[in-house]
Amino acid sequence: MALTILVSGVLEYDSGKTWLSISLGLLARRKGLKTTLYKPVAGHNVWNRFSSVIESRKRQVLLGNDVLLYEKYLGSLDPLELVNPIDLLTVYPDPLMLRGHSEYMLAVSSLERSLVLARITSCRNNGIVSNHYVFSENLATAPASVRKELVELAKVLRAAPAQPKEILGFLSSEKASSLLEDCRGLLSRDKDVVIIESFSDSLLPYVGVENSVDLLFVVAPGKALVFTGEKLRQAIELLGDVNIRTGSFLSVARYSSYMVLDIPPAESPIKLAEKLESTELARLLV
């Protein structure tokens, strides 16, 4: 059975989850362990990660920056659609196409208003099937400078028209959790270590994954707290909610961590792995 590690972030952005996840993967592979990363749900914005749009068109599958970084530093992985079954692409709208600054700021902060493309990959019967969706109403308000690129990408992906509410409703459903657990099971089948990266500052990427977690890494810039999977499950039971933020988990569990690690700055995940190799962390990956 694979050692399953969950990496969750304290901050909504830039906690350091992705670099630490890749570094853990590098450390595990240096020990000769069959290792993979798993990003159940990913989101990326056109303006911040335009290179992922170009790469998605080239590969004819919607891919986010995180899984492309996994591939860059870890080399060959399982199919990236399996590594990241649900991917969401957003775009900030053209402010001149909306009614004033307040509506623009509302659209920027709303996933329902900014979502333009999505991919949902199912993992049934040992195979993977990907479906792409396009949200035409949001696409119509994208700045002209990028709209043509997105329309072409939607055609390449053969994206079906859909409503954002439908997709977002699915993401919070038991069906989505079941789909993501199926993919985790398929990924884990022949692995020694599976590293799961959550999204934003959500403690869990989906409901049910907590039952498989052996170790939880809670990451903030410069620091990581390591908890046992049992402590994770106890905290969820105490809080009475699986849809919780990492900060809420820390409010009840921060003084019962199994290990505290300093995370030094590094110019790449490779360099970070080298710095962490001599710490207590290395003995956990067995």
CA angle 208, 83, 196 (to 5 degrees): 45
pLDDT at 286 over 70: no
Ranking 106-120, 198-212, 242-256 by mean pLDDT, the lowest is 242-256
- 52-56, long-range: CB < 8 A, 24+ apart: 52/89, 53/89, 53/149, 53/150, 53/153, 56/89, 56/153, 56/157
C-alpha to C-alpha distance for 215 and 223, rounded to whole angstroms: 16
Tokens of 85: 């079954």
| pLDDT at residue 242 is higher than 80 | no
Lowest-confidence range among 27-41, 131-145, 240-254? Answer: 240-254
What domains appear along the chain, each with residue ranges and CATH number?
Answer: 1-34+191-286 (3.40.50), 40-180 (no CATH)
pLDDT in tens, 66-105: 999 999 999 978 899 999 999 999 999 988 888 888 888 8
Please check the confidence at residue 251 and state whether its pLDDT lies above 80.
yes
Q: What is the rounded average pLDDT of the residues 195-203?
A: 95
pTM of the model: 0.94
pLDDT per residue as tens digits for the range 99-142: 888 888 888 888 889 999 999 999 877 789 999 999 999 999 99
